[in-house]
Structure 1
């Protein structure tokens, strides 16, 4: 269900994106650049951060889509649940722990980020580009979680799987942007996230 009265009762995010193309096109371009462009992080790691942040925010829609997408890129089943329970005991690569601690703090208590938090990321072997990308993915999904929740966008497991299939395809978010701009079919036709 969505809170936008002009959209169908069962509207998903593609409906919202098509309804507001002036803001959706640059938003999807940013998704493509950040989540599929060059980065010290793999696509799987960036999708992991997206799903983790969405889980922290209890955004079922984004957490579901990006957990399924992270799995499509090789993230182990159950890892996101482990991370949400306790980063330090989850079976995640050691260099990702300070990145995920950073994302957690930035999501839940952003004013409490300190230089020490950044130094922990650097000490794990990441550079400034990595810190920038981690913060950017975190910020983007805090934004997306609020967009989805604020507009009442919901979906179920079958939708999450279909969206992950599209997002893990060769064109990623660029394909979503193209489909959203030109396709006037159902949400299942263009399910981006």
Structure 2
């Protein structure tokens, strides 16, 4: 059930920003943006900083890899809006729709390196079960993933496990493929600010 709070209650400056987004992009602002601007001092400002750092901060993982992690975690959670948004963004970042879809369809046979596969496997376990074992972490490290890469992947996982739940709780409206592509272009260019 979509919560109507996302359609009202914004300050005049925010309403103007949303009108400009619609004017220049041809699309209304997605609910994800509306949510971050609703009472930003409570959640939005901190969430934007954390997510931007996880997704665009310094990392040995590429932007494409981190977007794929977001799409993968969202797929495990069954969060339709986030799957659409981050599948589109990972596809644009990699310039390879088949690769992204292969990972989301069957991680074990997807054409990716073992470091990324093992990391995604661990993120899937963490997302489904809420915990990982020492053995899960040993497998990730044995695949050649650095301790910093593990921390970076866990930050992506934390950001999107939170975002997935909020998207589903607030009933974020699905976008058209063109709407997701426009959002992906924005995220590639500007990040999560």
Contact 2:6–2:35 (CA under 8 A) maintained in structure 1: no
- With over 3 angstroms needed to count, the CA separation of the structure-2 counterparts of 1:68 and 1:85, relative to structure 1, is closer
Aligned residue in 1 for 2:39: 20
Work out whether 1:39 is the aligned partner of 2:34: no
- 1:54-69 → structure 2 map (5 Å cutoff): 54-69=74-89
Shift of 1:71: 1.3
Aligned residue in 2 for 1:131: 150
The separation in 2 between residues aligned to 1:143 and 1:83, in whole angstroms, is 22
Could you say what the CA RMSD is over the residues aligned between the two structures, in angstroms?
1.8
Shift of 1:6: 6.1
Which structure's residues are more often helix, by fraction?
Answer: 2
- 1:1-193 → structure 2 map (5 Å cutoff): 2-5=2-5, 7=7, 12-22=31-41, 23-74=43-94, 76-111=96-131, 113-156=132-175, 157-169=177-189, 171-174=190-193
Contact 1:79–1:90 (CA under 8 A) maintained in structure 2: yes
Q: What runs of 5+ residues in structure 2 fail to find an aligned partner?
A: 9-27
Q: What runs of 5+ residues in structure 1 fail to find an aligned partner?
A: 175-193
Contact 1:48–1:75 (CA under 8 A) maintained in structure 2: no
Taking structure 1 as the reference length, what is the TM-score of the superposition?
Answer: 0.82
